[in-house]
Chain A
């Protein structure tokens, strides 16, 4: 078991290393010249060279790569070209903002999705509940996240005028956690969270549903039923066992969904990490874009790792090699 974890850990490190290398070269496809905007305003050539040096953009590709990896080892992504601050100073608040909408959205999506999935899975094959459940879930699953966002904006923000549809509300000069514990912020939270919930819900529903539908044909379920246990308790049994694939799926899905929240953040003008990434790309702020991308990639690697471990914990049949 320990050997397995160790090997898996090493593997993850190799993967992260490879991803960062790929990233380095992607960014070198296009000649990076963060000074261009300043030259447009008439910066002198010496000043420009000095800046390029400061940003580690001089020297051969090889030396640039070596210094890049060296800095990576200590999680130093350098300074943002645009904000002229260490990238982590810029990114950390963004990550917090993203988590504010991602975590509740994902949890609600998973909980509601699993609940509904159990109902649909346990309903009679071919019944109206099952069929409409599957159809509606598939249609929602087929709706791009930005269309969910646009629809929510159109209905609740523009048409009914009930909820605000952009930004995080008035900070009232508060910072830190106090900034988030205000009514105005919570109101602004509703629509983006709702969008993520709806976006994330159908996959949970469908996964849970097929798990339950598979499980209900298993012998032990028949056995439980034969013992005269009530229908709802039997459903619970089947559901509990179906949670296993759901949970292992949940981790990578979580990571991938956080990465995919980009578009929802853009629709709702939410100052999260995804929107920052898009802006960094258009501004050619490479250190920032690299760090944001790195962070998202690491999140996925960690999630996969966690999924593997939980799977072993939950299902004793899995043997670690």
Chain B
């Protein structure tokens, strides 16, 4: 109500009106239906970097050539998530990105989570019952090649329906001080995430300064792994997971030495020998079983998405245990084994009643078995982790310091004055590249990834409920332009379908690529009965 307090006219208001100036193929007046009303384009506001606004602007400019009137609406990141990504309140169009999380190298997120009927993350509200069923079923296909085939078929179906599409895949960046560090390796195709070995555990110091200073922002809300859902990877520097995903997209052993499927719903896991918690106690199957059963018991809200399929765990011997599942899950290794951690039973069984709310920093109980040991945390300032020399993959330096600088300017200054050794986020990738070019002691690594910039359309609303209209929008989207004007070159035009090309075998390379072609888009509309008024504005087909 207050928001509509003042109305201003003229070209200075929030509206960016782009009415097409295409003349030519306009139909005669009596064939026209109603005029298509003004549409909104919602996108991540500048708190997620200035690139989204530029991308939305470039896309809207071309969509306008179809005779549409569009208004750009910036939405703060968290509001965007609340209202559009999970809130189902998408108005017309949205331009935003989904992150390059390590577990998204599995296709489930792309073909199911964002596309199946009624799912909370399906913000474009497309619903095809048959598709949804098949998308849900693929996860239970244990045979790899059968599953690949199913996922490929889903992509074909998806492109045919064109409920939404990907514009570009993002290229992340790492910039680091090469006079002080070497072997800073690329985590491609995943952003420099802590759940990975690269570059964090691979880096080697070249000088006596053996602390790696990471110029970053504050995203840790608690060190309690049962409750933390934002800095998931950071906490797993301290608490080892059973497996890790490597840069080839393969799930490799970590705290677990090996695992085998006893049947479709039972996994036997053998722990690595000789692991110790940071307080010197040995890591045993008891700890793993305790942790899994505690999670099953408490169903922590922050973890429920990944762990709800687990029914429990039982010990076989000192290093072996079995995990049982509700239903078969082909993505269990890649999404859950790399996510579940081991808590020391001797500490947690003596914890307070409400383990989820336990402030383990205050109680000096941040004890895991991971490659780093907790040292200090000054919220919104700095995190310090000591290297755990006893770890099976101990870093070759003394500790990791994460500076919560939170803004591009400060990160840039920190890299230049030596306070920061490495930056992976906040500072736009193009600026990282600039810095490395201007300064000999800084090195830039380009990390092409599966992080995707989506264009969502509200499939429940006319004209987006019409496949022809959606296809026209797709054809009128210039991926190349978004890559250059929006991402300053640090992105890759996306391939067709929801699954990013960098997912390798999961991506269906037989899909036909649709070219950017405004004329073809207008032809598509004309064939479906749409028409243009004398002012160039697009009208619905006559009913």
The answer to whether any beta carbons of A and B sit under 8 Å apart in the complex is: yes
Residues of A within 8 A of B (CB): 29-31, 33, 35-44, 47-48, 50-51, 82-85, 90, 93-94, 153, 157-158, 161, 164-168, 170-171, 173, 175, 179, 266-267, 269, 271, 275-276, 279, 282-284
Q: Give the shortest distance, in Å, between A58 (CB) and chain B (any CB).
A: 15
**Known contacts A29-B2, A173-B384; A269 and B78 CB within 8 A of each other:** no
B28 within 8 Å of A (CB atoms): no
B137 within 8 Å of A (CB atoms): no
Cross-chain contact A38 with B301 (CB below 8 angstroms): yes
Docked Cα-Cα span, A82 to B85, in Å, equals 19
Cross-chain contact A161 with B417 (CB below 8 angstroms): yes
Sample 19 A-B pairs with CB under 8 A, ordered by A number.
A33-B82, A38-B302, A39-B86, A39-B121, A42-B113, A44-B299, A47-B304, A83-B222, A85-B222, A90-B379, A93-B378, A93-B379, A157-B413, A171-B381, A171-B382, A173-B384, A269-B405, A271-B381, A284-B82
Pick from A40, A161, A166, A276: contact of B410, CB under 8 Å: A166
Whose C-beta in chain B lies nearest to the C-beta of A90?
B379
Cross-chain contact A284 with B304 (CB below 8 angstroms): no
Residues of B within 8 A of A (CB): 1-3, 47, 76-79, 81-82, 85-87, 113, 120-121, 221-222, 227, 229-230, 299-302, 304-306, 308, 357, 359, 375-376, 378-382, 384, 403-407, 409-410, 413-414, 417, 419
Cross-chain contact A83 with B379 (CB below 8 angstroms): yes
Q: Give the shortest distance, in Å, between A21 (CB) and chain B (any CB).
A: 15
Cross-chain contact B305 with A43 (CB below 8 angstroms): yes
Q: Give the shortest distance, in Å, between B295 (CB) and chain A (any CB).
A: 13
Q: Give the shortest distance, in Å, between A140 (CB) and chain B (any CB).
A: 23
Cross-chain contact B301 with A165 (CB below 8 angstroms): no
Whose C-beta in chain B lies nearest to the C-beta of A30?
B79
Pick from A44, A82, A276: contact of B304, CB under 8 Å: A44
Q: What 5 A-B pairs are tightest by C-beta distance, nearest first?
A: A42-B305, A36-B82, A166-B410, A47-B301, A269-B410
Docked Cα-Cα span, A35 to B87, in Å, equals 11
Cross-chain contact A48 with B87 (CB below 8 angstroms): no
Cross-chain contact A83 with B419 (CB below 8 angstroms): no
Q: Give the shortest distance, in Å, between B419 (CB) and chain A (any CB).
A: 7
Docked Cα-Cα span, A31 to B308, in Å, equals 28
Whose C-beta in chain B lies nearest to the C-beta of A26?
B2
Which B residues touch A29, using CB under 8 A?
1-3
Pick from B78, B113, B410: contact of A167, CB under 8 Å: B410
Pick from A43, A44, A283: contact of B78, CB under 8 Å: A283
Cross-chain contact B405 with A43 (CB below 8 angstroms): no
Cross-chain contact A164 with B417 (CB below 8 angstroms): yes
Docked Cα-Cα span, A175 to B361, in Å, equals 14
Q: Which of B1, B2, B76, B301 has the most CB of A within 10 A?
A: B301
Cross-chain contact A166 with B413 (CB below 8 angstroms): yes
Pick from B2, B302, B381: contact of A168, CB under 8 Å: B381
Docked Cα-Cα span, A271 to B320, in Å, equals 46
Which A residues touch B406, using CB under 8 A?
269, 279
Q: Give the shortest distance, in Å, between A84 (CB) and chain B (any CB).
A: 5
Q: Which of A38, A48, A50, A279 has the most CB of B within 10 A?
A: A38
**Known contacts A93-B379, A276-B380, A283-B78; A84 and B222 CB within 8 A of each other:** yes
Cross-chain contact A171 with B82 (CB below 8 angstroms): no
Whose C-beta in chain A lies nearest to the C-beta of B305?
A42
Which A residues touch B419, using CB under 8 A?
164
Docked Cα-Cα span, A31 to B83, in Å, equals 9
Q: Which of A42, A47, A85 has the most CB of B within 10 A?
A: A42
Docked Cα-Cα span, A80 to B113, in Å, equals 29
Q: Give the shortest distance, in Å, between B225 (CB) and chain A (any CB).
A: 13
**Known contacts A84-B222, A271-B404, A282-B47; A42 and B87 CB within 8 A of each other:** no
Q: Which of B76, B79, B86, B227 has the most CB of A within 10 A?
A: B86
Which A residues touch B78, using CB under 8 A?
36-37, 282-284
Docked Cα-Cα span, A168 to B378, in Å, equals 11
**Known contacts A36-B82, A269-B410; A166 and B305 CB within 8 A of each other:** no
**Known contacts A39-B86, A41-B229, A44-B305; A167 and B79 CB within 8 A of each other:** no
Whose C-beta in chain A lies nearest to the C-beta of B404?
A271
Which B residues touch A165, using CB under 8 A?
410, 413
Which B residues touch A42, using CB under 8 A?
113, 121, 304-306
Docked Cα-Cα span, A307 to B305, in Å, equals 55
Docked Cα-Cα span, A48 to B304, in Å, equals 10
Which A residues touch B120, using CB under 8 A?
39
Docked Cα-Cα span, A166 to B404, in Å, equals 11
Pick from B305, B378, B409: contact of A41, CB under 8 Å: B305
Whose C-beta in chain A lies nearest to the C-beta of B213?
A170
Cross-chain contact A40 with B301 (CB below 8 angstroms): no
Whose C-beta in chain B lies nearest to the C-beta of A157?
B413
**Known contacts A30-B79, A37-B230, A168-B381; A51 and B417 CB within 8 A of each other:** no
Which B residues touch A33, using CB under 8 A?
82, 87
Pick from B81, B375, B409: contact of A36, CB under 8 Å: B81
